[in-house]
Structure 1
Amino acid sequence: MQKKNLAALVASLFILPVAAHADVTVYGFLSGGIESAKATGNGTATNEYTSRTRVVDHNSRIGFKGWEDLGGGTKAIWQVESSLRNFENGGTNDKGQTASFATRNTFVGIDNADFGKILVGQNDSAYKTFTGSSNNALGTDVFVNTTADNFNANSVNSRGEARLANSIHWFSPNWAGFTLGGSWGVDEARGNDGSGNSTDAKRISLGLGYNWGSLNLATAWDKQYDKGVAANTNTATLSSGKNIAFYSIAASYKFDFGTFIGGNYEWGTFDQVGGGQLKQNDWLIALGQDIGPASIKLSYGELGTLKNVGAGVNGDDFKAKQWALGGYYNLSKSTQLLAYFTKITNNAKATANFANNPIYSNNQGLLNASLAGGDDPQAFGIGMKVSF
């Protein structure tokens, strides 16, 4: 009898933790590849990134999430997601930054069937969720999580998207195909601008989406308070009473025979520190075709003229464009092969870069690493992705 009781006790030590955590999901993917990359065209050899082979991490990650039923259609929800950034480089990227825990969407919240979700922590803004790279249903970022991804604050398209630390979010349930969302990123630092004025650099995002079968429509707005730009640039800096705002619309449709078409249009306004307001638009068109387990993708985007610049400054010098062509082949439900070619063409003062695995032609390996104006990043690569 004692032996049986001891055996039951030992068994319970293994069974109980599993039962207690049965609602926890572990998820993520590892995606890596090899590519030939360069960034030349600046005209100064010391400010160029000559052609070389790179081993790259395509935004790999691991996450843990779970929920508890509170009754009445309400659940407590949580998530911890971490970047496995640069696993190919020992965890350190080309700016000398290392990966750490909970670097991606990490929050605690409430999910109600009638009201929707409220999240507190760090999460993609409503702007990014509805019209940016987070909207997988929209699908206009056809090479998301690869070097060919062109949706990012420092890229050609979707420059208003962000992941907000110290933030609160609300996302509605689906109401007859419509969804709403809002984000508030609070400013806990409350620093001073260059003139010594106190600032409250909060960030507000709103989004609206609509889905009807294969049709997806979305629009979003994002505003950064007490942020301006230096005269005749699009580089943000703290400035009391100045603001940066973005507006975007997007649409996509996938036909029954596997053809996909989509597009984004975004316009931004930038208050200058010394007065006046700059404007700059960008747009993108994306195409795709499924062929059995394979899919071919093509996208083209442009960052337009910086408008309202001062005398002696050419707004066209801030223009950029990006081509991306490639495809995917699904070996199974969780394993995928990928290949791509992408090129960004920057005018003289433009510094648009890849959203993932950016190229730095100056100060490689340091926190102030940057791409020199007028350099044109390009990459050809192949890779493999395994999801879990």
Structure 2
Amino acid sequence: MNKKLIALALAALPVAHAMADVTIYGTIEADVESSKTYANGVKDVNGKPKAVTRIDDTGSLIGFKGNEDLGNGLKAIWQVEQGLNIDGTTGSTSGNGYGNTFASRDSFVGLQGAFGKVRIGKLSTFLNSDAGAPDAWIYGNKGVNGQSYSSINQLDGRVSNAIRYDIPEFVAGLSGAVVYGVDETSNTNKQNTFSIGATYTNSGYFGTFGYQRYNNNYQTTGGEWKPGNYWRLEAGYNANNILAAAYYGQSKLAAANAAGTIGTDATATAFLGDTFAGQELKKKEAGLTLGYTFGAITPKFSYGRVWGASLNGTDLKGHLNQYVLGADYALSKRTTAYASYGFVQNSYRDTSDNKFSNEHTVAVGVQHKF
């Protein structure tokens, strides 16, 4: 009997060894918020946004990753990551926009070595994975308690059917990547995407640049397909309990409909509706964030501005100023409580020359990482 038990235990050893290379990780987070925004879609009889109370999942996820040493400095790497909705809603009605499909976030298989890293799957652009320091907030996509109208929130994302190459760190502090995604939804109007980005850090100071291009992104009034693009520059300091980060960017993309997809911009259509979806939308943006950690508390302040917007070459005659104030409280190394208030001062006007409403969100939430 003892010999049988020993044999069973020995037989299980290779399985245990194989499982040891798999890491399970994730984030569970949610908030309670009171919000009056166009993103909520709740309006009064005059078409103005009404205040609503929401309990939202603000970005929960679970992931599985691992690697295998192939020898000579070469590794096989893989990851499957899925967005969650712990509040019970899904898709466009949820606070984070995730559906219930698997592998909805970065998921890939690839190789890593002295040459760098090559991955194939659903992959983030460089700006999505390695930038975004000026938007240091936890929030959902229905509120304005983060830099909701910046490209960090509106445009940074993941590319399906993609291949990504990350350069090796041949210069200390320098990293970069190239991403190419193939559109498989059409045999005629290919909407392949291209992304490139790099960042350099030294003694807490950093500078980041990223560029994204979308082929056949929108059509002119004459029916001609045009490419869309956006770029953003970030710089600042993030060390010694201090965060000071700023950004500037420009975009020329298809105006999004209510659902929105990567390569579209919902900044204007949040106000104007779906009538202008697919048309050329240009804009400029800039902003900054300041934060300081003392003890367990990190108070933060952000300012963002969108201006110079035009739709099909017609000036939209307005701008957005966004202010966010709040603080994070570290309950432990993995658990954070947070509170924030966001306000958007809106001077844009609709097609009848009526000024759009200002927006605001106040939220309190908890995030736990495992």
Shift of 1:89: 2.3
Q: 1:287-342, CA deviations, whole angstroms, 9 ceiling, x for partnerless residues?
A: 001111110111111111225865xx54224x323211111111111111111111
Shift of 1:98: 3.6
- Secondary structure of 1:5's aligned partner: helix
Q: In the alignment, which of 145, 151, 162 is matched to residue 167 of structure 1?
A: 162
Contact residue 128 and residue 162 of structure 1 kept, 8 A? yes
Contact residue 157 and residue 283 of structure 1 kept, 8 A? no
Q: 1:39-90, CA deviations, whole angstroms, 9 ceiling, x for partnerless residues?
A: 2799963634422221111200000000001111110000000011x31125
- Secondary structure of 1:89's aligned partner: coil
Return the alpha-carbon distance in structure 2 between the equivalents of residues 375 and 23 of structure 1.
52
- Secondary structure of 1:47's aligned partner: coil
Aligned to 1:100: 101
Aligned to 2:34: 36
Aligned to 1:381: 363
Shift of 1:374: 2.9
- Secondary structure of 1:128's aligned partner: helix
- Secondary structure of 2:151's aligned partner: coil
Contact residue 157 and residue 301 of structure 1 kept, 8 A? no
Aligned to 1:141: 135
Q: 1:3-61, CA deviations, whole angstroms, 9 ceiling, x for partnerless residues?
A: 11222244346544221111110000101121111227999636344222211112000
Aligned to 1:204: 194
Aligned to 1:315: 316
Aligned to 1:222: 212
Aligned to 1:190: 186
Return the alpha-carbon distance in structure 1 between the equivalents of residues 310 and 341 of structure 2.
31
* 1:179 correspondence with 2:160: no
Q: What letter corresponds to residue 248 of structure 2 in structure 1?
A: Y
Return the alpha-carbon distance in structure 1 between the equivalents of residues 118 and 239 of structure 2.
34
- Secondary structure of 1:50's aligned partner: coil
Aligned to 2:297: 294
Shift of 1:127: 3.4
CA-based RMSD of the aligned residues comes to 3.0
1:112-131 equivalences under 5 Å are: 112=113, 114-131=114-131
* 1:344 correspondence with 2:340: no
Contact residue 42 and residue 374 of structure 1 kept, 8 A? no
Contact residue 321 and residue 346 of structure 1 kept, 8 A? yes
**TM-score if structure 2 supplies the norm length?**
0.81
Shift of 1:130: 4.0
Q: What letter corresponds to residue 94 of structure 1 in structure 2?
A: T
- Secondary structure of 1:8's aligned partner: helix
Aligned to 2:151: 157
Return the alpha-carbon distance in structure 2 between the equivalents of residues 16 and 42 of structure 1.
56
Contact residue 121 and residue 161 of structure 2 kept, 8 A? yes
Q: In the alignment, which of 205, 209, 234 is matched to residue 250 of structure 1?
A: 234
Q: What letter corresponds to residue 32 of structure 1 in structure 2?
A: A
Greater alpha carbon shift after TM alignment, 5-14 vs 322-331: 5-14
Aligned to 2:61: 61
Greater alpha carbon shift after TM alignment, 89-98 vs 18-27: 89-98
- Secondary structure of 2:87's aligned partner: helix
Aligned to 1:22: 20
Shift of 1:140: 1.5
Contact residue 235 and residue 247 of structure 2 kept, 8 A? yes
Return the alpha-carbon distance in structure 1 between the equivalents of residues 92 and 309 of structure 2.
31
Count of aligned pairs between the two proteins:
335
Aligned to 2:324: 324
Return the alpha-carbon distance in structure 1 between the equivalents of residues 129 and 99 of structure 2.
26
Return the alpha-carbon distance in structure 2 between the equivalents of residues 228 and 324 of structure 1.
33
- Secondary structure of 2:134's aligned partner: coil
1:40-51 equivalences under 5 Å are: 45=45, 47-51=47-51
Aligned to 2:6: 8
Q: In the alignment, which of 237, 240, 265 is matched to residue 248 of structure 2?
A: 265
Higher relative contact order (CA closer than 8 Å, sequence separation 6+): 1
Q: 1:166-218, CA deviations, whole angstroms, 9 ceiling, x for partnerless residues?
A: 11101112222211210101111225xxxxxx311111011011011201111
- Secondary structure of 2:341's aligned partner: strand
Q: What letter corresponds to residue 180 of structure 1 in structure 2?
A: G
Return the alpha-carbon distance in structure 1 between the equivalents of residues 317 and 337 of structure 2.
38
Distance 1:20 1:335, change over 3 A: same
Q: What letter corresponds to residue 283 of structure 2 in structure 1?
A: Q
Return the alpha-carbon distance in structure 2 between the equivalents of residues 168 and 70 of structure 1.
21
Shift of 1:382: 0.8
**TM-score if structure 1 supplies the norm length?**
0.78
Return the alpha-carbon distance in structure 1 between the equivalents of residues 118 and 189 of structure 2.
27
Shift of 1:254: 3.0
Distance 1:63 1:250, change over 3 A: same
Contact residue 110 and residue 118 of structure 1 kept, 8 A? yes
Return the alpha-carbon distance in structure 2 between the equivalents of residues 345 and 109 of structure 1.
45
* 1:79 correspondence with 2:73: no
Q: Determine what percentage of the aligned residue pairs are the same residue.
A: 25
Structure 2, gaps ≥5 residues long: 256-275
- Secondary structure of 1:103's aligned partner: coil
- Secondary structure of 1:59's aligned partner: coil
Aligned to 1:236: none
